[in-house]
Amino acid sequence: MKVCLVQSQSRPGEIDFNIQNHINLIQVALQSKPDLIVFPELSLTGYEPQMAEELAFGVEDQRLKPFQDIADFHKVIVSIGLPIRQFEEVHISAVFFLPGKDRLLYLKTLLHEDELGFFSEGKNQPLLLDIAKKAAFGICYESLKRAFYEKVLENHAEMYIASVAKSIEGVECAYAQFPEIARVYNVPVLMSNCVGNSDDFVSSGQSAVWNQQGDLMGQLDGESQGLLFYDMQTEEVKIIQDL
């Protein structure tokens, strides 16, 4: 299985622009024939908690149709980060567009204290996402919390994917913890981060992959859009930067 981590830069609240930017990045990624394409946390709106109420999508929002069309036509799985409104609550979510199937919705279960006034925590979320390989999936803050990753990784996950929006301090924390998580649980760890202004901080990219021994296999820079490909079988890495 080949995974593509997208490092994107969103314009806060400019959904039409961000959708087109996502499509453009996906089109570049498709040339390398990935099986799974993963975008950062809240990539479609930008990480803007104070704007989440007005920007929130319904899971069947027609503006998301182009991503389902891409998944169906190219037989690829695409994960997009966006705020979802469900039962009058707004959640940080990842929507997985699966070829020929219904969309798979994952809601962030552990929120940072700064997010609590704007989002609700997801309940009873799947421990493993069955997307070609069994993937443990976490969104930013929760992905580094022991109570979370112990629970999702003890079920024989074949990879651990973190979709994040992290500042330089958050990236440093991730680079300290993810290699150890990979070694302890014998599982590759893949982190997709964004770049550019996010809420009251600057997202610092450096999207990366660690193999199951905790070795850093590849990383993107901290400033520009790019794609990081990782082949789960061969451990081959390919990088496309400055998109």
- In the predicted structure, residue 235 carries a pLDDT above the cut 70: yes
| Among candidate residues 176, 147, 142, the one with its CA nearest the CA of residue 161 | 142
The pLDDT tens digits of the residues spanning 16-74 come to 999 999 999 999 999 999 999 999 999 999 999 999 999 999 988 999 999 999 999 99
Which pLDDT score is estimated for 154?
A: 86
The pLDDT tens digits of the residues spanning 125-162 come to 877 887 767 899 999 999 999 999 999 998 889 999 99
- Total tally of structural domains belonging to the chain: 1
The pLDDT tens digits of the residues spanning 73-104 come to 999 999 999 999 998 999 999 999 999 999 99
Distances (CA, A) of 182 to 52, 100, 118, 158, 191: 33, 32, 32, 11, 12
| Rounded-to-integer distance, Cα 103 and Cα 82, Å | 14
Which two structure tokens, joined as six digits, stand for 10?
A: 């969103």
CATH number of domain containing 18 = 3.60.110.10
| Among candidate residues 116, 121, 143, the one with its CA nearest the CA of residue 208 | 143
Let me know the angle formed at the C-alpha of 225 by 200 and 153, rounded to the nearest 5 degrees.
75
Which pLDDT score is estimated for 126?
A: 78
Query: What average pLDDT does this structure show over 187-213?
Result: 97
Which pLDDT score is estimated for 65?
A: 97
| Rounded-to-integer distance, Cα 140 and Cα 92, Å | 10
Which pLDDT score is estimated for 30?
A: 99
Is the pTM of the predicted complex or chain greater than 0.95? Answer: yes
Which pLDDT score is estimated for 155?
A: 81
| Rounded-to-integer distance, Cα 119 and Cα 214, Å | 33
Cβ(138)–Cβ(162) below 8 Å = yes
- In the predicted structure, residue 106 carries a pLDDT above the cut 90: yes
Cβ(159)–Cβ(5) below 8 Å = no
Which pLDDT score is estimated for 134?
A: 87
| Rounded-to-integer distance, Cα 132 and Cα 219, Å | 24
Mean pLDDT, rounded, of the chain: 96
Confidence of residue 239 (pLDDT cuts 50, 70, 90): very high
Cβ(45)–Cβ(12) below 8 Å = yes
Which pLDDT score is estimated for 133?
A: 78
Query: What average pLDDT does this structure show over 171-192?
Result: 98
Residue 35: give the domain boundaries: 2-241
| Rounded-to-integer distance, Cα 89 and Cα 85, Å | 5
| Rounded-to-integer distance, Cα 240 and Cα 29, Å | 9
Which pLDDT score is estimated for 132?
A: 64
Which pLDDT score is estimated for 230?
A: 98
